[in-house]
Structure 1
Amino acid sequence: MALHRIRIGLADPSEEHRTAVLGIRLGILQGEMGQVAEGVESLVAARHLWRRPAAADPEEYGPGHARSRLRLGQLLVEAGRTEEAVEATGEAVVRWHTLRRERPGAHGPELAAVLTVHASLRWPAGDLGGALEATGEAVEIYRGLTGVLPDVVDRLHPVLELQARVLLHRAGTGRRRRWRAGWGRIPPGVGGGAF
């Protein structure tokens, strides 16, 4: 399916948004069916469709746009395109940072979860400093939320485990291996919403 062809004639950002959501769902389904390359193509096309609605109304469409970058990163990992996955999840981190700056106090759990996924990709790519920076920020966010949202403690444990593995590897006492919770896998509680 060529989503870029559907784009012609869409005048309203909400129409582009609906088409982008369909493209993302299609990409996710294609990935689940083992059609990873096609899924990546659908997600990339959907990302382009999502830009205008996200720019027109960041509060309404921004979170979905950020989630679409994370989903793309996850599928790129499955396609063996780790460098591109790091880039896509990095873009998701930037988008969640922007949303959080616009609404302080909101989007903390989403940002922390995306930082965790991003760190889990940066570490195997050899960027230990970047992985530690991302896990450090995620830990700070989760710790700040534990009094308000007690269930974030469950999300804090995998981040601390990842941080410990990266530190052990950096110290030369750990072995480089995939993180148990999954390389680039989306943590529980992330990715809900528009999809």
Structure 2
Amino acid sequence: MPRADHEPDPSRAERLITRLVRAARHTPAAGPVLTTVVGTQPDLLLPVALGAARAGHGPVDDALAQAVVAADLDVEALLQLNASLPWTSSALGHTALAIAEQACRKADGSSTHAHSLLTLGLRLSEVGRHSEAVTAMREAVAQRRSLAEDDPDTHNPGLAAALSNRGAWLSGAGRYLEALAAAEESVALYRRLADVDPDAHGPDLATALSSLGIRLSDVGLHREALNAAEEAVAVWQSLAESNAAAYRPSRAKALNNLGNLLSNVGRTQEAQTAFEEARRLSPP
């Protein structure tokens, strides 16, 4: 059956958007054209444009950011767009920030708003707006904490994840004591969750323990850092007993982390053993 005139041709749209993205990289005047074209059908064309412009800067980034602001997308669509973009990268930084800002405005539930706030904080940090990032992340954790107080079974996992993310950001910003406090609380929450359901939350606990080891090392608590890293390896080992192949990459990463911490305190032979075990588990 022939395609109706008003129906979009996805392959044709993708080719057009790809050409406009390439043009906008070298010709600033193409940026407004890209914004306008994407704006005709943002739900279809924004994902295409983001895929074509993964390494976009300057006019491309600005054009897509404007298209996001002009589009009337719901929060689920915005969060899906955000998930399609890389983290800790300056590529499409303003577009990613526009998506996060719009998601915060559109969020209609406390849990969704808390998630959107955390995303906003991370995106603000990526474009150098650190004081605003601190505020957004603090509010995200506060909202998660409030939800967890009312319904811990439902919302403690979200609070633990928010604390873990905030701790990682604080560490990157050199705020090591605050990062450590967030990591410790995250581990305590994940430990309680894993005690109830180890299959569901054991991986989260192991990941949080590895992060805690790094945070402890950052403030010079090397013995405690090793204890956390060793426990992370043990948790992954326990999980691997039921599915060894699924957890090989995570076990290797935890062993590398342990090896680095052992090296930091001069335990070279033990570090080498950990590194060799990690190499054995890593894919060829």
Answer yes or no: same fold by TM over 0.5: yes
The residue identity in structure 1 corresponding to 2:256 is E
Higher helix proportion:
2
2:155 equivalent to 1:67:
no
Aligned counterparts, 1:109-128, within 5 A: 109-128=203-222
The residue identity in structure 1 corresponding to 2:194 is R
More divergent stretch after superposition (151-160 vs 91-100):
151-160
Counterpart of 1:155 (choices 250, 254, 257) is: 250
The residue identity in structure 1 corresponding to 2:128 is G
1:40-75 CA-partner distances (Å, limit 9, x unpaired): 211111111111221233332211111100111111
Alignment partners' CA distance in 2, 1:78 and 1:43: 14
Alignment partners' CA distance in 1, 2:187 and 2:131: 24
Alignment partners' CA distance in 1, 2:131 and 2:225: 27
Alignment partners' CA distance in 2, 1:67 and 1:16: 16
Structure with greater contact order relative to length (CA < 8 Å, sep ≥ 6): 1
Alignment partners' CA distance in 2, 1:65 and 1:24: 11
Greater gyration radius: 2
2:132 equivalent to 1:38:
yes
Identity of aligned residues (%): 28
1:118-149 CA-partner distances (Å, limit 9, x unpaired): 11121132111111111111111100111333
2:191 equivalent to 1:97:
yes
Is the CA contact (8 Å cut-off) linking 2:207 and 2:232 kept in structure 1?
yes
2:56 equivalent to 1:56:
no
Q: Secondary structure at the match of 2:128?
A: coil
CA shift, 1:173, in A, is: 5.6
Alignment partners' CA distance in 2, 1:172 and 1:164: 9
Alignment partners' CA distance in 2, 1:156 and 1:172: 20
Is the CA contact (8 Å cut-off) linking 1:36 and 1:75 kept in structure 2?
no
Alignment partners' CA distance in 1, 2:222 and 2:249: 24
Distance 1:78 1:170, change over 3 A: closer
TM-score (norm 2): 0.52
Alignment partners' CA distance in 2, 1:162 and 1:147: 21
Give the aligned partner of residue 146 of structure 1: 240
CA shift, 1:95, in A, is: 1.0
Between Structure 1 and Structure 2, how many residues are aligned?
A: 161
1:91-142 CA-partner distances (Å, limit 9, x unpaired): 1111111211233443011110111111112113211111111111111110
CA shift, 1:32, in A, is: 1.9
Alignment partners' CA distance in 2, 1:111 and 1:30: 27
Is the CA contact (8 Å cut-off) linking 2:160 and 2:186 kept in structure 1?
yes
Give the aligned partner of residue 231 of structure 2: 137
RMSD: 2.0
Alignment partners' CA distance in 1, 2:141 and 2:130: 16
The residue identity in structure 2 corresponding to 1:136 is E
Is the CA contact (8 Å cut-off) linking 1:37 and 1:79 kept in structure 2?
no
Aligned counterparts, 1:12-31, within 5 A: 15-31=109-125
Alignment partners' CA distance in 1, 2:180 and 2:265: 19
Alignment partners' CA distance in 1, 2:230 and 2:190: 16
Distance 1:152 1:37, change over 3 A: farther
The residue identity in structure 2 corresponding to 1:148 is S
Is the CA contact (8 Å cut-off) linking 1:47 and 1:68 kept in structure 2?
yes
Is the CA contact (8 Å cut-off) linking 2:199 and 2:239 kept in structure 1?
no
Is the CA contact (8 Å cut-off) linking 1:16 and 1:49 kept in structure 2?
yes
Q: Following TM superposition, where does structure 1 have runs of at least 4 consecutive aligned residues deviating by more than 6 angstroms? A: none
More divergent stretch after superposition (27-36 vs 111-120):
27-36
